[in-house]
Amino acid sequence: MGKTIAEKIFSQQSGEDVYAGDLVIAWLDFVMGQDGTAPLAINSFNEMGGKELFDPAKVAFVIDHSAPSPLEGVSALHKLMREFSGEKNLRLYDIGDGVCHQLVPEQGHVVPGDLVVGADSHTCTYGAINAFSTGVGSTDLAAAMISGKLWFKVPETIKFQCEGSFQPGVFSKDLILRIIGDITADGATYLAAEFAGEAINNMSVEERFTISNMAIEMGAKAGLMEYDQKVDQWLAGRSSKTSRPVSADPDANYLEIKKYDVSQLEPQVACPHTVDNVSPLSEIENMPIQQAFLGTCTNGRLNDLRVAANILKGKKISPDVRFIVAPASRYVYLEAMNEGVIQTLVEAGAAVVTPGCGPCVGTHNGVPSDGEVVLSTANRNFKGRMGNSKAFIYLASPATVAASALTGKATDPRSYLS
Amino acid sequence: MLLKGKAFTFGNDINTDYIISGKYKFKTLDMNELAKHVMEDLDPDFYNKINDGDMIVAGSNFGCGSSREQAPLAIKHAKISCVLASSFARIFYRNSINTGLPVVECDTSKIDQGDELEVDLQKGIVFNKTKSLEIPVTPLPDVMIKILEDGGLIHHFQKHGDFNFD
């Protein structure tokens, strides 16, 4: 019987011939923790009697969720991470380096065929480069740091076959929002998702990350894609690890195959307070906004900043809007600077903050006020997510966010990018 | 172990940001402090209303969202004895077992706010005392039972030094 990508990676990593439903103990190629989860994992590691890491080269910590520290309590947790990283000789990405899910692939830690866990739910992002990666909690992370292994139930797979070409001004973010709206927040719980088809093949690797990143928002364990030349080129110069590309067999068994044609897709928006509350943008068009946020592990990459700069070049944002930009990493920040993208955004009125997660998770750098409306490129719009339970968060593509920052109200970006 | 408490009901898709908001959880590892803010964005008085042993009862996809283990820990430190839901999000479910918070998957549609509940984890039975109704429970996978029997994943590793499910 043929296998899905998930079944192949778990077979390879457990040394057994396994299929969906089987329970495995599998070897991990990389493990990651961030400043919201690593401190608790350090405690668990010590309580478990952990002495050394299974392989320091396969472990990294990232300080990104509250970076730089806005509070004494946070500073103490960051210090704990720095001390542990020094003692155990693991790679620490400190404040300003970027968001973990940009850094892990960008710095070459993950390649096709890898099995990766991270103590952050959006670890599913690396599925875009053909790795099985999934989020775990701090105690699982501690067990992984000690043993280099974790137990898994091999998931069934739901496949999204995406054909057609996007209209100008419509992006991968719009597609994944539409899919989540259809499947709902728990429609893929315990399942792996595979995204395939012409529409995925035509995307850049960066656009693909946006899709895999949001697989967790429908409950999925991973958001997998096939390996291709674009992945190979993207990894060139980033990673010296050996790729082991994994392809689904033509006779693999899928729980369900869903077909999408992106050609007619309009810009989409996730309305408060759940990610699956998705409508076409047209339904909220002209709704006034007070804050626009461009960044995060979903949409803070170079192509996202470029799209926004294209819309905003030579223009000024609405005086009624605060426009916050957080490049996804130091590398992205520098590249965007070299291209003049940062200059364009700042001239248009953007407030650029340190690469990191702050505004998205409500720790600092842009907490909205009561009753305010935020249009954000992030992946979550839960009540209170940005630090105020009385604010309203809408999720959209970087193009929609930039066009709306310009006008001060929810705006279809297609007229700016045709 | 027989758990007894009153039901506090919530809806579907209760995410980990609602269970413990990001604005608190990045600041401290003091779970007793975090416990005071549990469910705050949904019910600002929740912590003051509950008594030791009370239970959270929810619909589908409880614990969706972030991987924060502070979510089950804050519930546990608020002295909630058990969470019952018609389904759980994967990472939360795993984190609960790893940290020793009892989670029970069952039909929660016949439990109302304030109902007196008894949960027998060994026998896998939920008894709604107020309604004199027995509710069957979805059994845990064997691996999770072994981790729970050891008292959570930390104790499992203390005991075996590694994963040991034989």
Separation CA A33–CA B155 (nearest Å): 21
Do both A161 and A128 map to the same domain?
Answer: no
Give the three-state DSSP class for B158: helix
Average pLDDT over residues A134-146: 98
Q: Indicate the pTM of the whole model.
A: 0.96
Homologous superfamily (CATH) of B2-138 is Aconitase, domain 4 (3.20.19.10)
Residues of chain B with Cβ-Cβ distance to A48 below 8 Å are: 153-154, 157-158
Residues of chain B scoring pLDDT < 70? none
Following CA atoms A12, A16, A20, A22 in sequence, which dihedral angle do they give, to the nearest 10 degrees? -140
**Is residue A68 reached through a cis peptide bond, with omega within 30 degrees of 0 on the bond before it?**
yes
How many percent of chain A have pLDDT more than 90? 99
Its domain, for residue A177, covers: 155-240+252-265
- Whether B141 and chain A come into contact, CB under 8 Å, resolves to yes
| Domains held by chain A: number | 3
Separation CA A159–CA A162 (nearest Å): 9
Nearest chain A Cα distance for residue B73, angstroms: 11
Separation CA B81–CA B76 (nearest Å): 7
Burial A33-45 (b: 16+ CB within 10 A, else e): bbbbbbbbbbbbb
Do both A278 and A360 map to the same domain?
Answer: yes
Q: How far apart are the first and last CA of chain A?
A: 46
Q: What is the domain-level CATH number for residue A214?
A: 3.30.499.10
Do both A409 and A313 map to the same domain?
Answer: yes
Assigned domain for A15 exists: no
Number of residues that make up chain B = 166
Assigned domain for A9 exists: no
Residues of chain A with Cβ-Cβ distance to B153 below 8 Å are: 44, 48, 139-140, 142-143
Using only the alpha carbons of chain B, give its radius of gyration. Answer: 15
Do both A275 and A407 map to the same domain?
Answer: yes
Separation CA B5–CA B82 (nearest Å): 9
Do both A225 and A346 map to the same domain?
Answer: no
Dihedrals phi, psi of B83, to nearest 5 degrees: -115, 125
Q: Which two tokens stand for residue A173?
A: 């973010």
Domain map (residue ranges) of chain B: 2-138
Strand ranges for A298-339 from DSSP E: 322-326
Do both A275 and A412 map to the same domain?
Answer: yes
- Whether B28 and chain A come into contact, CB under 8 Å, resolves to yes
Write out pLDDT tens, residues A248-293: 999 999 999 999 999 999 999 999 999 999 999 999 999 999 999 9
Average pLDDT over residues A386-396: 97
Write out pLDDT tens, residues A301-350: 999 999 999 999 999 999 999 999 999 999 999 999 999 999 999 999 99
Assigned domain for A359 exists: yes
Write the burial class of residue A367 (CB in 10 Å: 0-12 exposed, 13-18 middle, 19+ buried).
Answer: middle
Which single residue is written with the structure tokens 């292994």?
A: A149
